[in-house]
Amino acid sequence: MPKAAYLHIPFCNQICHYCDFNKVFIHRQPVDEYLDCMEKEIIYTLKKHPRSTMETIFVGGGTPTALNDKQLNRLLTSIHTHLMPNSSEVEYTFEANPDDMTREKLVLLKDAGVNRLSFGVQSFNDELLKKIGRSHSAKQAHRAIEMAQDVGFHNINVDLIYSLPDQTIPDFMHTLLEAFSLGIQHFSAYSLIIEPKTVFYTLMNKNRLPLPSQEDEATMYEILMEQMERHGYHQYEISNFAKAGLESKHNLTYWNNEEYYGFGAGSHGYVNGHRNANYGPLKKYMAKLADGELPYIESHKVTKEEAIQEEMFLGLRRMSGVNKMEFRQKYGMDIQEIFSAQIKLLLAQKLIEETDSVIRLTHQGKFLGNEVFQRFI
């Protein structure tokens, strides 16, 4: 049974120009009814697929901290009741926007057992923050993180995005140095991807989105890796860096190809060999639960062939790579039996390296990760 759970809160006070996650403006939305429905989904799911002791819970969005204190308390109570009644060793993460945070919310989260926060900062350049549709300032980001530390949070992640419109290499370097000054434990840093149905996608199609060149994007990634290492953050996945022992257990659940519950509108889960996708629109999601049904728009039984492919392209995201012995124990076959042609090609291209025990990306391979992963699909 899964030892991890993701809960999706699709409400935001402002929609970012790059975001394609399932989300809606919180104003006039049925937030309380949604929280009731999500609790029903948890109850129905656990009745069908009882949980074991949970190891990681992640509440994301949307913006979970867009909820008011009463709604937040309602959500926290539901999680405690059904997912972690007797466990104090859970990695329990909440995503947070800097301008949503108050000391009262932070204390509420801390008292409920939340022990990890993930702040969507993205940049420490106020002009860039406005361009990408963020509602906070660099000063607010500093203040929110310092307040969280003062309340007692000592496992904090900051999300950063690079290759933003009009972003320069010196500006990105400035953002990194500002981020390092916060004394936090973990960074997730991603290159901007232009997704359909976003403001940036529309602007790009109108030739009104001045993005950095591919060369500058690659330089930013190189700087990111160098600076993270220099400041004591170990790169354990293509886009994730952590102080020793503080890697995200929840994200590793995905990259280790392990099962997890997914609750909420638009969420995905992997339970009992099935990958499940929930309805995204709130009305459809809530209507299914009102009828006493799980809100799946799709439930797919993962074949052994698909599981093997997922094992490779998810595992290669980790800097530790894919362990050959563990692969053999899991699937009863050697990696070379299945992927010899792909491995030979990628070795020749110097995008992966192979030892007696693992296959992993080379430094060059980190820049062309998607090209590597596609070889195994």
Cα of 70 vs its chain's centroid, Å: 26
pTM: 0.96
Task: Give residue 262's pLDDT.
Answer: 98
- Provide the CA 96 distance to its chain's centre, in angstroms: 13
Per-residue confidence (pLDDT) for residue 21, from 0 to 100: 85
- Between helices 138-151 and 103-111, what is the axis angle to 10°? 40
- 53, 132, 299 from 265: Cα distances, Å: 24, 25, 15
The CA radius of gyration of the chain, in Å to the nearest whole number, is 21
Q: Domain segments of the chain: what residues?
A: 4-255, 321-374
Decide if pLDDT at 85 tops 90.
no
Residue 349 has pLDDT above 80, yes or no: yes
pLDDT at position 86 is 72
Homologous superfamily of the 4-255 domain (CATH) = Aldolase class I (3.20.20.70)
Which run of H or of E encompasses 284? Answer: helix 282-290
Q: CB count, 10 Å around CB of 325? A: 11
* 209 touches 194 (CB < 8 A): yes
Characterize 93-119 residue by residue with b for buried, 16 or more Cβ atoms within 10 angstroms of its Cβ, and e for exposed: bbbbbbbbbeeebbebbeebebbbbbb
Residue with the bigger pLDDT between 14 and 190: it is: 190
29-60, pLDDT tens digit by residue?
A: 999 999 999 999 999 999 999 998 999 999 99
